[in-house]
A = this chain, B = another copy of it.
Amino acid sequence: MIFEKPPSLILLLCQHPAHTQGAAMEKSYVSVFLLLVAISCVLAKDVGKKDTKETNTKPKLPQTLSRGWGDQLIWTQTYEEALFRAKNSNKPLMIIHHLDDCPHSQALKKVFAEHKEIQKLAEKFILLNLVYETTDKNLAPDGQYVPRILFIDPSLTVRADITGRYSNRLYAYEPSDISLLYSNMQKALKLLKTEL
């Protein structure tokens, strides 16, 4: 009864969504800076891994499900729970993939948590924030980068049509895209009409 499930976290990319786009290519110094940021993300992650291996660093208690994305909101624990609740409550599901040591995730979290209208609108969703990827490939239509936000209809259909600004990372958002994220949340609330 042996099973192998290679953890997919090591494949995760924490990068500025636009850093491989044409505009950024022109501004090479920006690219270099962002490349350094991306590398430092990877380094930070490696160091973090070694830490957990060698020492017993304890997180601050209590551990919450919100992880700072909105402490007053109700968060589901797992993908399975989130799917179940979305279907049963007929609410759309919003899944935020992020990493604690990714500065882009952290920056987006800050504006997300401080944006009153978003926090209010988020109450109408089943919410899940994940640091570890699921094995469901439907949640990574164009790769396993972070931050990455996907909406799923209560019919359990991934809303591939609800995207951000970046053609190379369709479901990425920067802090400056927070208004787009807000309107995307409004879009997600208009449920798909599925034929029965």
Residues of A within 8 A of B (CB): 1-5, 7-9, 49, 52-53, 58-59, 61-66, 71-72, 74-75, 77-81, 83-85, 87-90, 130-136, 138, 141, 155-158, 160
Of B63, B71, B79, B158, which one neighbours A61 at CB under 8 angstroms? B71
Among B1, B66, B74, B138, the residue within 8 A (CB) of A158 is B1
Q: Kindly state the separation between the CA atoms of A133 and B166 in the bound complex, as whole angstroms.
A: 35
Q: How far apart sit A21 and B47, CA to CA, in the bound complex (Å)? A: 52
Q: B residues within 8 A CB of A160?
A: 1
A192 shortest CB reach to chain B, Å: 10
Which single member of B3, B52, B77, B155 contacts A89 (CB below 8 Å)? B52
A84 touches B1 (CB 8 A): no
Given A131-B77, A132-B78, A156:B5 Cβ within 8 A: yes
Contact A74 B80, beta carbon cutoff 8 Å = no
Interface of A is mostly: loop
A-B contact pairs, 22 of them (CB 8 A): A1-B157, A2-B155, A2-B157, A4-B156, A5-B80, A5-B136, A7-B84, A7-B88, A49-B88, A58-B74, A61-B72, A62-B62, A62-B64, A62-B71, A63-B64, A63-B74, A64-B64, A65-B65, A77-B78, A77-B132, A80-B135, A84-B132
Contact assessment for B9 and A84 in the assembled complex, using a CB-CB cutoff below 8 Å: yes
Question: Are A7 and B83 interface neighbours, CB within 8 A?
Answer: yes
Whether B4 lies near A80 (C-beta < 8 A) is no
Closest to A133 in B: B80
Residue pair A78, B75 in contact (C-beta under 8 Å): no
Give the residues in chain B near A158, CB-CB below 8 Å. Answer: 1-3
The closest CB in chain B to the CB of A64 belongs to B62
Q: Are B5 and A83 in contact (CB under 8 A)?
A: yes
A100 to B121, CA, bound (A): 28
